[in-house]
Amino acid sequence: MIHSLLAKMDAKLGFEEAKAHCDVPCGIYDPSTAQISALTVVRMMDLMGDLLSGLSDWDGEAANRIVRYVAQKEEHAEQVKHEIRIIWGDYIKAPQVEAHPNVHELTHSIMTTASKCRQGTSRDDGLALVELVNQFAEIFWATKGVSTKRAECPYAPNLEVVYPKL
């Protein structure tokens, strides 16, 4: 009965929550997996485009390749969402949000853009995803006190990537 009463008060007033944090906090967070996955999304879009533009007739070989490209695009777009969600949910706390107030909006943009990449084949969406994840990486490294640089990755799709200056 007391708990029910408190639950009603909580719903109205919003008591502060204390967590017991029983899982093991390994403390290992790094946006590089998300960055590589975002690049892979663009790479798969490019491979799909190359295949389709040079295709005169569909055959089993072409169908097999396009299915594999789409499957990889799906998997890596989802991987971007997964990796960013973990950093955002487990690592980004009030002090980081205070220093980088756009991080929530940026994270949401990454979620929606990655979904667009799953749904379609627009290279512009893929490029937007790479750039958003780059911005997230810049915020992440700033919270670690590590400066970053932007450089073209030395492999296809040869896009600009944020690297930590360690």
Interface with other proteins (CB under 8 A) = 2-3, 6-7, 10, 15-25, 27, 91, 93-95
* Structural Rg of the chain based on CA atoms: 20
Helix (H) or strand (E) holding 115: helix 103-119
Nearest-approach distance from CB 22 to other proteins, in angstroms:
5
For residue 8, give the amino acid letter: K
Q: Nearer to other proteins by C-beta: 15 or 58?
A: 15
CA 43 to chain centre: 16
The answer for residues whose C-beta is within 8 angstroms of residue 107's C-beta and 6 or more apart is 84, 85, 88, 136
Q: How far apart are CA 15 and CA 20, in angstroms?
A: 16
C-beta of 21 vs 165, nearer to other proteins? 21
The C-alpha atoms of residue 80 and residue 65 are separated, in whole angstroms, by: 23
Rounded Cα distance between 37 and 41, Å, is 6
Which residue's CB is nearer to other proteins, number 24 or number 166? 24
Tokens of 138: 């810049």
- Nearer to other proteins (CB atom), residue 92 or residue 159: 92
- Minimum CB separation of residue 106 from other proteins in Å reads 20
Q: What's the min distance (Å) between Cβ of 150 and other proteins?
A: 28
- Which residue lies nearer to other proteins by CB, 29 or 163? 29
Minimal distance in Å, beta carbon 5 to other proteins? 9
Shortest distance in whole angstroms from residue 98 CB to other proteins:
12
